[in-house]
């Protein structure tokens, strides 16, 4: 680790876990910690040993893991008032975690001394000194978190300054300035950092910022520009209230925009994967608009934008998406032009030829259907089928003769759904029925049952997601809906949709597109194999 590197301190497993809807098991915390270590994070704060059994179990399991890059860190408070650190259960729990580094937080806002802890400034300073000196005597690296530092400094500069000076003189290896309430403006933060530098050298300073004013990333980067060396944050900005500083954005900006080295280049190319990985473990849907790593971060919808990006991506992309493991996407919608259609056709493996009327017809049809409620930017499968139909290359694999869906309920018994369907394939009719957990599931089962003897390959496909969106809620239960379906055959995932005022019909349209896409793709693959 070079002395000029910015130190990345991850607190996803502790501060991030305090976020609403975030709840990691001890095993999940260990998986994330190992992933962060692989990518070269410098510090991983595992939790607060002694505060709950889960964190204690995490640290016990972590003792059997050899971290190659990161220093695992246990977090906790200073000793309790009016007792010695050597006998304080908080301090002993930190040592029992057996981590190479320990983070100790102490109060630096006099409001907390008078209104929350009810201790004097002198006792608070002694709690800080005694705790740090004792933990240092055990051979630990000590990181001191000056909690509420910026609020404390604004209220009582002398008090806040004495806190960090005491921590430094007691042997703390790093003094972290915390904007715990997340309310400090960037200008104030810069001013305060520069004012306290005579007390603490810049290379011994860290920054820990919350996002209550939407400034966590900006304030963290501003602190680094002032010489602060350690940056705290969480993956995806998870954390209490409005969250913590998002390390995905911080790392991307530091290394790609500010030329501040923090992680290996290969790890920067894993940022998108890391963001999605932690989202998956946390069971929280990824934020499409997340900078650098979001699915929409390099997505282009407007025709003018797409035309420019195809000529030179720098026209509307601040970096190449591949640098952070993301990818450029072009969306098709009612805002699309021929450039969007050409891009998507190439992406979907469809040759539109030289005839411009085909692209023009596709653009017009997309705009018309989007006005009716279709959303082709999220349904590539339906778009592929539509393109092939307009080009005249699509052959209907089956024709619907009729279907009927019955949903029956008696008393308090569960509902029973049954679907009957009649189709024809190449002039041969097939009539079948099936039950399901609901009307859509019954219809899906009946359609598959009818098609299986003609197209056995549909056995390999199944639905992985089903969503319903109301287009205009003012019409209540009579409103038009869009049904989105994600399907997979193990090798590919595709999305299709259907629109109708009848949710069963909308579901049917999405189901048909899904199967048509699968069969069309298989036919193309078969022809490609024959040609080879």
Per-residue pLDDT of the chain (532 residues; tens, 9 = 90+): 566 689 999 999 999 999 998 999 999 999 999 999 999 999 999 999 988 899 999 999 999 999 999 999 999 999 999 899 999 999 999 999 999 999 999 998 888 777 877 888 889 899 999 999 999 999 999 999 999 999 999 999 999 999 999 999 999 999 999 999 999 999 999 999 999 998 899 999 999 999 999 999 999 999 999 999 999 999 999 999 999 999 999 999 999 999 999 999 999 999 999 998 998 888 888 888 999 999 889 887 776 776 777 788 788 889 999 999 988 777 665 555 666 777 777 777 777 776 667 778 877 887 787 777 777 777 788 888 888 888 877 788 889 999 999 998 888 888 889 999 999 998 899 999 999 888 888 999 999 999 998 999 888 888 888 888 876 655 555 678 888 888 888 888 888 988 998 889 999 999 999 998 888 888 877 766 554 5
Strand partners, 205: 175
Closest CA to 204 of 243, 242, 165: 165
The CB-side HSE value for 12 (13 A sphere, CA atoms) comes to 31
What is the rounded CA–CA span in Å between residue 250 and residue 216? 9
What is the rounded CA–CA span in Å between residue 435 and residue 389? 32
The per-residue pLDDT for 250 is 98
Q: CA–CA distance from 511 to each of 423, 440, 444, 499 (Å)?
A: 14, 9, 7, 12
**Contact by Cβ (8 Å): 433, 446:** yes
Q: How many helices (H) and strands (E) does the chain have?
A: 18, 16
What is the rounded CA–CA span in Å between residue 68 and residue 71? 9
Radius of gyration over every alpha carbon of the chain, rounded to an integer in angstroms: 29
* Chain-centre distance for alpha carbon 328: 17
Residue 137 buriedness (CB in 10 A; 0-12 / 13-18 / 19+): exposed
The per-residue pLDDT for 258 is 96
Strand partners, 148: none
Closest CA to 482 of 408, 344, 379: 379
The answer as to CATH 3.30.160.270 being correct for domain 399-531 is yes
Edge to edge, the sheet with strand 428-436 lists 399-408, 416-425, 428-436
Residue 407 tokens, joined: 């949903």
In this structure, how many other beta carbons lie within 10 angstroms of the beta carbon of residue 460?
Answer: 12
- What is the maximal distance between C-alpha atoms in the chain? 92
What is the rounded CA–CA span in Å between residue 471 and residue 373? 7
Closest CA to 28 of 50, 45, 42, 13: 13
What is the rounded CA–CA span in Å between residue 47 and residue 26? 10
What is the rounded CA–CA span in Å between residue 326 and residue 320? 9
φ, ψ at 141 (rounded to 5°): -75, 135
**Contact by Cβ (8 Å): 495, 469:** no
**Contact by Cβ (8 Å): 349, 317:** no
Strand partners, 287: none
- Which residue in this structure is represented by tokens 């023009």? 360
What single DSSP character describes residue 15?
T
**Contact by Cβ (8 Å): 263, 248:** no
Asked whether the whole model's pTM tops 0.85, one would answer: no
The per-residue pLDDT for 348 is 73
What is the rounded CA–CA span in Å between residue 359 and residue 377? 17
What is the rounded CA–CA span in Å between residue 447 and residue 518? 14
| Assigned CATH class of 7-263 | alpha beta
* Chain-centre distance for alpha carbon 450: 40
φ, ψ at 525 (rounded to 5°): -65, -40
Residue 55 tokens, joined: 């964190």
**Contact by Cβ (8 Å): 128, 170:** yes
What is the rounded CA–CA span in Å between residue 430 and residue 125? 83
Same fold, 7-263 and 399-531: no
φ, ψ at 493 (rounded to 5°): -125, 135
User: What are the boundaries of each domain within the chain?
Assistant: 7-263, 299-391, 399-531
Closest CA to 78 of 157, 147, 140: 147
Edge to edge, the sheet with strand 493-500 lists 462-470, 481-488, 493-500
């Amino acid at each position: 680790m070079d002395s000029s590197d910015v130190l990345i301190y991850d607190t996803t497993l502790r501060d991030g876990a305090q976020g609403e809807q975030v709840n990691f098991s001890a095993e999940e915390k260990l998986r994330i910690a190992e992933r962060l270590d692989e990518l070269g994070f410098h510090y991983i704060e595992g939790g607060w040993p002694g505060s709950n059994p889960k964190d204690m179990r995490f640290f016990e399991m972590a003792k059997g893991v050899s971290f190659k890059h990161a220093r695992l860190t246990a977090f906790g408070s200073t000793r309790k008032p009016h007792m010695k650190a050597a006998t304080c259960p908080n301090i002993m729990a930190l040592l029992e975690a057996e981590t190479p580094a320990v983070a100790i937080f102490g109060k630096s806002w006099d409001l907390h001394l008078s209104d929350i802890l009810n201790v004097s400034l002198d006792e608070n300073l002694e709690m800080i000194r005694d705790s740090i000196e004792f933990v240092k005597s055990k051979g630990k690296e000590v990181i001191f978190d000056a909690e509420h530092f910026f609020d404390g400094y604004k209220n009582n500069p002398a008090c806040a300054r004495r806190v960090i000076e005491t921590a430094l003189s007691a042997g703390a290896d790093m003094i972290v300035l915390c904007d715990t309430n997340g309310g400090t403006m960037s200008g104030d933060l810069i001013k305060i950092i520069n004012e306290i530098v005579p007390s603490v050298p810049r290379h011994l300073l860290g920054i820990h910022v919350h996002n209550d004013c939407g400034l966590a990333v900006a304030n963290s980067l501003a602190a680094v520009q002032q010489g602060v060396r350690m940056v705290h944050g969480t993956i995806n900005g998870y954390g209490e209230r409005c969250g913590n500083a998002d390390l995905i954005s911080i790392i991307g900006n530091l290394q790609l925009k500010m030329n501040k080295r923090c992680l290996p280049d290969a790890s920067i190319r894993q940022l998108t994967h890391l963001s999605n990985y932690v989202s998956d473990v946390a069971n929280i849907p990824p934020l499409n608009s997340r900078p650098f790593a979001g699915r929409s971060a390099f997505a282009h919808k407007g025709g003018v934008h797409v035309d420019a990006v195809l000529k030179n991506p720098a026209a509307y992309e601040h970096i190449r998406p591949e640098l952070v493991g993301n990818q450029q996407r072009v969306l098709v919608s009612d805002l699309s032009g021929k450039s969007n259609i050409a891009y998507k056709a190439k992406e979907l493996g469809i040759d539109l030829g030289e005839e411009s009327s085909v692209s023009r017809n596709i653009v017009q049809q997309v705009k018309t259907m989007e006005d009716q409620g279709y959303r082709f930017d999220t349904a590539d499968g339906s778009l592929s089928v539509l393109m092939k139909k307009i080009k005249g290359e699509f052959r209907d694999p089956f024709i619907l003769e009729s279907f009927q869906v019955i949903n029956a309920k008696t008393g308090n018994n569960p509902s029973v759904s049954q679907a009957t369907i009649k189709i024809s394939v190449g002039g041969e009719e097939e009539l079948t029925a099936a039950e399901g957990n609901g009307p859509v599931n019954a219809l899906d089962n009946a359609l598959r049952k009818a098609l299986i003897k003609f197209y056995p390959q549909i056995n390999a496909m199944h639905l992985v997601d089903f969503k319903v969106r109301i287009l205009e809620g003012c019409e209540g239960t009579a409103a038009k809906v869009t049904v989105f379906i994600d399907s997979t055959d193990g090798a590919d995932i595709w999305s299709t949709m259907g629109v109708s005022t009848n949710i069963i019909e909308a579901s049917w349209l999405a189901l048909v597109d899904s199967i048509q896409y699968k069969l069309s793709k298989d036919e193309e693959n078969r022809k490609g194999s024959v040609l080879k």
